[in-house]
Amino acid sequence: MKSCRAALIAAPASGQGKTTITAALARQAVQQGKRVRVFKTGPDFLDPMIHERASGAPCLQLDLFMGGEAHCRALLAEAAATADLILVEGVMGMFDGRPSSADLAEALGLPVLLVIDAQGMADTFGVIAHGLAGFRSELQCAGVIANRVGSEGHAKMLMDSLPGYLPGIGWMPREARITLPERHLGLLPAAELTSLDKQLDIAAAALHTSFERWPEWSPEYATAARETPEALLAGKHIAIARDEAFCFIYPANLDALQSLGATVSFFSPLADAGIPECDAVWLPGGYPELHAARIAANQSMQLALLAHHSTGKPILAECGGMMSLFETIVTADGALHEGFGLLTGAALMQSKLAALGLQEVDLPEGRLRGHSFHYSRCDTPLEPIARCRNPNRGTLSEAIYRVDRLTASYMHFYFPSNLQATAALFQP
C-alpha cells in the first residue's frame, strides 16, 4: 500500500493557531508540487473552507462520533491512495472532549504534530510539549511547531527546550498580517476573505519547516471501504440553498445525497426569485441574521417556498435555515424583519452563545448525529417531535420541529451517520 506523510495537528488549547499552521503547511506543500489532503476533526464548517482553499481539494470531517471509526478509516484510505501529505486539524485542546483529537489519532494510527503558542515563553515550551507528548503512551508524537515566535533567537531557545526524543519541526513568526479575521461563529467564510490567497501565501512563506523531517506513515489500518448504499433517492432532485446566508454545508453531506442516487442543484434564497423544479429542498445553516433585510425583501422566494411546502414536498431546515423560515427574525440590533413564514414564531439573535455541542437524535426515520452551534434562540409555540442528546454529558438538547413534511432544528445533521434515515427525510 502506498505510504505518505501524515499528521494530526493538535494543541494544548483552542486559540493556539492550529488552523493557521495547518493551512500554511498545506499551501507550502502545494507550492512544492505535493498532492495534499486536509481533514478537520469535529463539527466545523469554517476552518474546512480555509483548508480547501489552501490545499486545492475538499476538506472533509474526521469525527469518531458523527461519522464513526469505519467512516473515518474509509475517508483516510481514499485520500492516502493519491496524496503525498495528509493533514488532520484537531479540535480544541488535544485531550478535550469525548471523543478528543487524541482519541482520533490513536484510533487511526496518526502521528501527532503539536502546535504551541510560544509567545512570552522560553523553557516552559519544552515542558508543555513533553507533557502533551507523554500523557498517553499509545500516541506517537512526530514533533512540535512553535507559533507566534518573536525572533530566530527565540525560536532556537524554544527548540533547545524540547526533550531529546521530541523533534522541533518548525516555527512561525509572530505577524499580525497572517491572522485570519473572525465573527461570532468563528473565522469568516473563505468566500468573504478577498485577500485569503495572499494571506495563505504569506503564511506559507513565513513558516520555517521541512517536510523531510516528518516520518513516513503507512495507512495499512485504513482498509474499510466507504458504504455503498442502496439508491433510495434515485430519480429525486434536491434543491439546496447556497449563498452568503446559507453556506454551512458538509462536503460529505453532498456526497451522501449523490451516493443515494439524488440529483442536486443549488439556488440562492437571497437573490433568486424561486426554487428549481425539485422533489425536496434543503436549507442549511449560515448567517441569515446578517442578511435578514434581503430575506424579508424576497417575497417571490417566500411564495415559492410556501408553494413547495403546500404540495407536501419535503423541506429540511437546519439552524440558519430554520431561522429564515420563522415569521420574524430579530437581529442583534433589535431590528425586526419578516422571515419566509413557514414556521410560527420568531428567531431572536443575542450577543451570547446559546448552544455548542455534539448532538444525537432519534427521529421516526432513524437515528442521526451532528452538532449544534448558534447565538440565536427561537420563540415558537410549536411542539417538538423529538429532542437531541449530548454525548459529552452536557445539557444541550435541541428540539426537532415538524410541520407536515417540513423538518426544522438548530441541529446540523451529518448525513453519513445514517444514510437510510437521511434518504427518508428527503423522500416525498
Per-position pLDDT tens, the chain of length 428: 566 888 999 999 999 999 999 999 999 999 999 999 999 998 888 888 889 999 999 999 999 999 999 999 989 988 988 899 999 999 999 999 889 999 999 999 999 999 999 999 999 999 999 999 999 999 999 899 999 999 999 999 999 999 999 999 999 998 755 666 554 445 555 556 667 888 899 999 999 987 777 766 665 655 556 667 899 999 999 999 999 999 999 999 999 999 999 999 999 999 999 999 999 999 999 999 999 999 999 999 999 999 999 999 999 999 999 999 999 999 989 999 999 999 999 999 998 888 888 999 999 999 999 999 989 999 999 999 999 999 877 788 999 999 999 999 999 999 999 999 999 999 98
Domain boundary assignment for the chain: 4-217, 237-426
**From 3.30.420.40, 3.40.47.40, 3.40.50.300, 3.30.465.10, which CATH number describes the 4-217 domain?**
3.40.50.300
Show Cβ contacts of residue 147 under 8 Å, excluding neighbours closer than 6 positions: 16, 17, 20, 21, 115, 116, 117, 118, 119, 171, 172
* Residue 173 in grid coordinates: 513568526
* Options 4, 59, 72, 319, the catalytic residue: 319
pLDDT at 224: 58
pLDDT at 102: 96
pLDDT at 195: 75
* Residue 167 in grid coordinates: 523533534
370 and 411 in contact (C-beta within 8 Å)? yes
Within this chain, domains 4-217 and 237-426 share the same CATH topology: yes
Q: Is 247 an active-site residue? A: no
pLDDT at 185: 47
59 to 100, 182, 412: CA distances (angstroms) = 19, 20, 17
CATH 1.20.140.10 fits 237-426, yes or no: no
Show Cβ contacts of residue 311 under 8 Å, excluding neighbours closer than 6 positions: none
